[in-house]
Structure 1
Amino acid sequence: MGKRVLFFIITNILVMTTLVIAWTLITTFTNIDPSIQDGSGGLGINYTTLMIFSLLIGFGGSFISLALSRWMAKKMMKVKVLDPDDQLTRQERAVVEKVHRFSRAAGLMHMPEVGIYQSAEVNAFATGPSKKRSLVCVSAGLLQNMDDDSVEGVIAHEVAHVANGDMVTMTLLQGVVNTFVVFLSRIAAILVSRLVRSEMQFVVRFAAIIIFQILFSILGSIVVSAYSRHREFHADRGGADLAGRDKMAHALRSLKTHVNRATVKDRTDDSAIQTMKISGKGSMMKLFSSHPDLDERIARLEQR
């Protein structure tokens, strides 16, 4: 789930920033922004209108991000989509078969798209705007470095994300976070603009909105990442139900082995499994990690 969270957060910040820039420019040159009315509460802010505006932009941004999530993943990772009707290698057909088998076992009515991307990292992710239009993708490094049972555990985990509808629930959470981001960033920008001369207020407010928008979005990603870590435990349980607890636990232990090996080899190597990928490690960056520590995931799975 790490990569889909990363894609979703990046897309969300880009979409939200674009929407706010467009709205700010439009309202500035047309003078029709109803959320700012001089003389209201001493700050010139119509809080009710601003909250409605924030809700529309916040949830609109998150649902646009959701709609773009699968397309963004394919483009950013250069994913090769595996069509079952095409000529596939034995390894590629085995991946498709596993995804479809677990999808049927999970009760999915529509089979996810299946893809492989060329990378030495040991990773997999699932994304998409709905169960009907989902994508399950694995790295070439995962297929080369893990045995068949581990691959089954990882794929079952990703299919569980799709079956659980995690991207939709994450979108709703992101919509709430976005609403507060838009609301607070505009209030902060207005307050900052009041500290300069009137002829400079537009420039300062415009710049401050963008800066606060990005800053608060990054802080808001802490909430989204915390939810993602919670859903990882749930997907581990779902993966265990689909592939068997032994295979799911074996997959997590294999991932831990590769994490340790990559860390020893080169802590800065791009192929290492880092914070925003399949394992969550670090100190302060752990707040932004989409995945909990592998030891904790293994322990919880074994306690079932």
Structure 2
Amino acid sequence: MIRIILFLLTNLSVIFILNIFLKIIGINIGKIYFITIISSILGFSSSLISLLLSKWIALKTINGKIIKTPKNNFENWILNTIKKQAKKVNIKIPQIAIYKSLDINAFATGPSKNNSLIAISYGLIKNMNKEEIEAVLAHEISHISNGDMVTMTLIQGVLNTIVILFSKIITQIFSNNLFNNNKEENINIKENSFLYYIISSFLEFTLGILASIIIMWFSRYREFYADSGSAKIVGCNKMISALKTLQIHHEPKELNNSISNFCINGKSKKIFNLFLSHPSLKKRISALYKKKYF
């Protein structure tokens, strides 16, 4: 709750300061208040809806099945492991799902720390030993404990709002200068013009790219802390071993041009690194050895 309040205050502060600045330079403040309200609604609504539906969307996307009653010893072990780890970090036990995929992967999602889901692939189960799986589960538990899903949503909501707001304001200023007329009746005509929407759409796209860079930076940053959180729960060696196993299985695919392989290997050109959701495995392993984020 504190996290949500702080982000909302940040968002409101930016908008408040912007409104003061625009009033000083003579932009129609009544119009700006209207744009601000619309931008906030549009900016946060999609992010909050996706967060609230995140578990449902994830299960539908991967066609995963939640383990309610363990059918074998392995599923029983997973459930017991999750229970122990959740107890250590003082959160409610997440639901656990297994999905059919040859990819070695796992992720956590959910609207809150006490309403979350961890999904792991068959590929991960097949290629990692129990100690490594334990470390991966602890990594996802750390994401949940750190509130990363909520923080990511709030950051995205704030940035979405700012992108929409700034694109509209800059377009308004550009239109005023282009037509050299600030009368209210002419502003309405300009806003309905094809040129207005072209400029606005271009700015939203451009500013959206810049916002994505910030979001991906935070995504990479949180991975280091999830790794260190896992190390604190199960031990540093187990997390390093899990990352090394992931490295061994994915490095042969580094010549593939897909973005997902860039994310896994961290071998892309520097410009692409700005858009990666995960740091390279080499950097993550190095950070654990150095205990950099502990």
Q: TM-score range by the shorter chain?
A: 0.7 to 0.9
Equivalent position of 1:117 in the other structure: 99
Using the aligned pairs only, state the percent identity: 36
| Structure 2: segments with no counterpart, 5+ residues | 1-24, 180-185
Q: CA deviation at 1:205?
A: 3.7
Which of 149, 152, 170 is the equivalent residue of 2:131?
Answer: 149
The yes-or-no answer on 1:291 pairing with 2:282 is no
Q: Which residue of 2 aligns with 1:10?
A: none
Query: What's the CA shift string for 1:154-173, capped at 9, x where partnerless?
Result: 11101110011111122221
Aligned partner (choices 96, 109, 115) of residue 79 of structure 2 = 96
Q: Which residue of 2 aligns with 1:232?
A: 223
The equivalent of 1:300 in structure 2 is: 287
Correspondence 1:182 to 2:159: no
Q: How many residues are aligned here?
A: 257
- Distance in 2, matches of 1:238 and 1:104, equals 14
Instruction: Decide which of 55, 60, 63 is 2:40's aligned counterpart.
Output: 55
Matched ranges for 1:134-173 at <5 A: 134-173=116-155
For 2:64 and 2:50, locate their aligned partners in 1 and report how far apart those are by CA, in whole Å.
19
Q: C-alpha distance in 2, partners of 1:298/1:182?
A: 38
Deviations 1:125-183 (A, max 9, x none): 11111012111111111111112211111111011100111111222211221121111
Aligned residue type for 2:78: V
Q: For 2:146 and 2:167, locate their aligned partners in 1 and report how far apart those are by CA, in whole Å.
A: 33
Q: Which deviations, in whole Å up to 9, do the C-alpha atoms of 1:39-92 show, x marking residues without a partner?
A: x94689833442343233323332222112222211222222211x2x523333
TM-score scaled by length of structure 2: 0.76
Q: Find the counterpart in structure 2 of residue 28 from structure 1.
A: none
* Cα distance in 2 for residues equivalent to 1:289 and 1:102: 28
Q: 1:240 to 1:189 in 2, by over 3 A?
A: same
Q: Is the 8 A contact 1:280 1:290 kept in 2?
A: no
Q: 2:256 is matched with which residue?
A: 267
Counterpart-to-counterpart distance in 1, 2:80 and 2:198: 51
CA contact (8 A) 1:275 1:281 kept: yes
Higher relative contact order (CA 8 A, sep 6+): 1
Structure-1-length-normalised TM-score: 0.74
Q: Which of these two proteins has the greater Rg computed from alpha carbons?
A: 2
Cα distance, 1:151–1:42 mapped onto 2, change above 3 Å: closer
Checking the alignment, whether the CA contact within 8 Å between 1:153 and 1:247 is kept in structure 2 is: yes
What residue number does 1:65 align with?
50
Residue 244 in 1 paired to residue 235 in 2?
yes
The Cα shift of 1:94 comes to 2.9
- For the Cα contact (< 8 Å) 1:58–1:178, is it kept in 2? yes
1:90-117 alpha-carbon deviations (Å, 9 max, x no partner):
3333333322221122211x21111112
**1:236–1:285 CA distance, 2 compared to 1 (3 A):** same
Unaligned runs of 5+ in 1: 1-39
- Range with bigger deviation, 278-287 or 196-205: 196-205
Q: Which residue of structure 2 aligns with residue 24 of structure 1?
A: none
Cα RMSD for the two superposed structures: 2.9
Kindly report which structure 2 residues correspond to 1:7-86, keeping only aligned pairs within 5 A, or say none.
41=26, 46-83=31-68, 85=69
- Return the alpha-carbon distance in structure 2 between the equivalents of residues 181 and 71 of structure 1: 28
What is the identity, as a one-letter code, of the residue corresponding to 1:96?
L
Structure 1 residue 191 displacement after superposition? 6.0
Contact in 1 for aligned 2:139/2:230 (Cα 8 Å): yes
* Equivalent residue number for residue 222 of structure 1: 213
Quick one: structure 1 residues 236 and 199, their matched pair in 2 at CA, closer, same or farther if it must change by over 3 Å?
closer
The residue that corresponds to 1:17 in the other structure is: none
The CA distance in 2 between the partners of 1:173 and 1:185, in whole Å, is 18
Residue pairs, 1:175-214, within 5 angstroms:
175-190=157-172, 201-206=192-197, 209-210=200-201, 212-214=203-205
C-alpha separation between the residues in 2 aligned to 1:217 and 1:153?
A: 35
Q: Is the 8 A contact 1:280 1:286 kept in 2?
A: yes
Question: Residues 279, 107 of structure 1: CA spacing in aligned structure 2 closer, same or farther, 3 A cutoff?
Answer: farther
Task: Report how far residue 214 of structure 1 moved.
Answer: 4.4
| More helix as a share of residues | 2
Q: Per the alignment, do residues 94 and 192 of structure 1 end up closer, same or farther by CA in structure 2, a change over 3 Å counting?
A: farther
